[in-house]
Amino acid sequence: MLQVGGLWSTSEFGVAMIKKKYHEIAEKIVADMTLEEAASQIRYDSPEVARLGIPAYNWWNEGLHGLARAGTATVFPQAIALAAMFDSEMLQEIGDVVATEARAKYNESRKRGDRDLYKGITMWSPNINIFRDGRWGRGQETYGEDPYLTARLGVAFIKGLQGDGDYMKVAGCAKHFAVHSGPEALRHSFDAVSSQKDLEETYLPAFEAAVREADVAGIMGAYNRVNGQPACANDELMDKLKEWGFDGYFVSDFLALMDIHENHKVTKDVLETIALALGKGCDVNAGFVYRSVMEAYDKGMITEEEIRRAAVHAYTVRAALGMFSDDCEYDNINIDYIDTDESAELSYKASVNSTVLLKNNGILPLNIENDNISKIAVIGPTATSLEVLYGNYSGTSSRCITNLQGIRNNAKDYSIRVLYSEGCHLFENKVQNLAFDDDRISEALTLVEDSDVTILFVGLDPTIEGEQGDTGNAFAAGDKNTMYLPDSQRRMIKAVKETGKPVILVLNTGSAIDLSFEDENFDAIIQSWYSGQTGGQAIADIIFGKALPGGKLPVTFYKENQQPDMEDYSMKGRTYRFFGDKPLYPFGYGLSYSDFEYSNMAVTENNDGSVIVSFDLTNKGSYDADEICEIYISINPEEKISNGLNNTIENLSTRLDPSNQPFWSLAGFERITLLAGETKKVSVLISEKSFTCVLEDGQRVKLRGSYDIYVGGQQPDARTEELTGKKCLVNQITV
């Protein structure tokens, strides 16, 4: 089978022929349009072309972690949680479910003439920006802070969306291109200044992979400027897309083109913005600027060729989706494919596999009989919250199980009494307006002291952490202004601690929190993220030992005041690769109920510059469990300078700053399932690119010298070793 934009299963020549076919269909349709009709088709809300029998189509559709904003759909854990699974295969499965439900919604809606937004098959997902700052509200939409992990998961999700049929199942769109990760309050006027090194090493790799490996159908430009030029009309960024061979459609973020003249002040009015954006290659406008395209044309500011070129790019994608064909294999997908038992089971599995155990002094899983547990206190503002199941950009589930309900579902099997108190408001000083401050703490303490164990559900939700304009956040336009939990929760947490009773803390957030106090004072801490439609059942099953926590952190958990200014886009001091201080919990960290041993590491070098890293993995615990194996590579900075290295590089000492190189970088990962006592031989292919180094001018080179390859269930850093009591295996090769 052949397709546009996904898992091509034919020769490169065959792929080119199929793409040419869709391009020719688009050219013919656009050629039959008047210029005014063609101009109307590069708006996100494209009206019908009745004369040609082409119905209206809205390009704006969302599928970040499930089909979003279109009614009932399967709600998976938020994207940052999906990243915590370190599982490309499951990301592709989830992408396929999103595509299936989107096709079903599209097919059923168009039967009824419903051509509204969110009911189409051009998904504006995934978000593959780098979560470089833990305060960014939209970081929850990403796959974390590491460019390699982001690239691998982004490629898998896009392939799942676009499918492997004769047509694309749905069209993926990688966003926000590029160098975009807050601050939200400034995004419409902000200039993200990035070095060439940071562009090549951090901000662009996932987008390059989306184009080169997943053949993504769409690229969405960001709101901000990048090094002085608007991201949606940026010479450097557009040149990168050409260099990578991108041949899909480029769309602006919503109202981003309006920012060019109103906020960035790069142009003086809407007509100049049209001339700039269309000329640079922005094909589709999400917003209202392109409604004035014909006025710009009449004034000689743009050409007919530019208008038709953009329309052809858009219609090539629509042709690849089968919109103008009678034989599209996805046209019969109907309502029966939405909200199925199978997709619900996959969502539950993702909720379990994304949960990260941060601390456990032995209290977990609960030993009901030995500890004589007859009463459990469930305390906290996220215990009954639906918002912490959903995260932002979500659909509506028919199967939600809150944290409290999940605990109740399990407790009844043991005849355990569950007592509940909200404990405090999520962020206000009181729950009832006319009450004194902290009006729920006394109730909470009564229940805690009357119970055998307390499960404390705290965190944030999308109403105070998210995208500017999509949130009621009163603090920082969707960003966090502190790494701590809101003061209302901190006061409640400290009061619970004073009881001296056993406490398990469960955190629902889309980002890292400084839990220094909680780590010091509580028995167990679990990061549950925005956990999906049945996230409450998943966390309860983990607490009661019916399931095992299966995730690792895709972001660093910093302490307060450990991060640089949010407006500084330099990677120095950011993420595990460049952070020189000791974090609370490192990237790649996560505990298990089981125990794994790594041994017999070997490295085999291939002729193409890649290597195969092999090792034995043994499950030494008493639980059948998954382990996430992590492979990191580091280069000795001193050897980069002293050994002569690659003689073709001139002035290396001025082009490479050893202090600005990563300590090590993730180069591979594998999720392995082992029975208790089982040993498996694991082999992971590490590409030659993982042995390259990016110079200060952005050139990526492979330097002669020694490379340390680390293998383990963690990073090779001192803080992780302190937390786990384990060290990575290490092997050194010379290039």
Contacts of 412 (CB under 8 A, 6+ apart): none
Q: Measured between alpha carbons, how far is 405 from 596 in angstroms, rounded to an integer?
A: 32
Locate 138 and state its tokens.
């939209």
Would you mind telling me the total number of residues written for the chain in this entry? 735
Classify residue 587 by burial, with Cβ atoms within 10 Å: 0-12, 13-18, 19+: buried
Cβ atoms 150, 102 nearer than 8 A: no
Residue 646 pLDDT > 50, yes or no? no
Cα dihedral 556/559/565/566 (nearest 10): 50
Residue 276 pLDDT > 90, yes or no? yes
Contacts of 649 (CB under 8 A, 6+ apart): 655, 695, 699, 701, 703
- Each residue of 365-393: pLDDT tens digit? 999 988 899 999 999 999 999 999 999 99
Q: Report pLDDT for 643.
A: 43
Q: Measured between alpha carbons, how far is 248 from 239 in angstroms, rounded to an integer?
A: 14
Cβ atoms 569, 383 nearer than 8 A: no
- Each residue of 205-251: pLDDT tens digit? 999 999 999 999 999 999 999 999 999 999 999 999 999 999 999 99
Cβ atoms 712, 700 nearer than 8 A: no
Report the pLDDT averaged over residues 628-655: 69
Cβ atoms 280, 238 nearer than 8 A: yes
Q: Measured between alpha carbons, how far is 524 from 498 in angstroms, rounded to an integer?
A: 16
Q: Compute φ and ψ for 138, nearest 5 degrees.
A: -85, 0
> Active-site residues: which are they?
253
DSSP 377: E
Quote the percentage of the chain above a pLDDT of 90: 91
Q: Report pLDDT for 636.
A: 78
Please choose, from the candidates 571, 576, 531, 535, the residue with its C-alpha nearest in 3D space to the C-alpha of residue 557.
Answer: 576
Q: Measured between alpha carbons, how far is 276 from 282 in angstroms, rounded to an integer?
A: 9
Instruction: Grade residue 19 by pLDDT with cuts at 50, 70 and 90.
Output: confident
640 compared with 476, residue with greater pLDDT: 476
Classify residue 422 by burial, with Cβ atoms within 10 Å: 0-12, 13-18, 19+: buried
- Each residue of 80-118: pLDDT tens digit? 999 999 999 999 999 999 999 999 999 999 999 999 999
Q: Report pLDDT for 591.
A: 98
Give the gyration radius of the chain's Cα atoms. Answer: 26
Q: Report pLDDT for 648.
A: 52
- Each residue of 33-74: pLDDT tens digit? 999 999 999 999 999 999 999 999 999 999 999 999 999 999
- Each residue of 548-588: pLDDT tens digit? 999 999 999 999 999 999 999 999 999 999 999 999 999 99
Q: Measured between alpha carbons, how far is 411 from 464 in angstroms, rounded to an integer?
A: 31
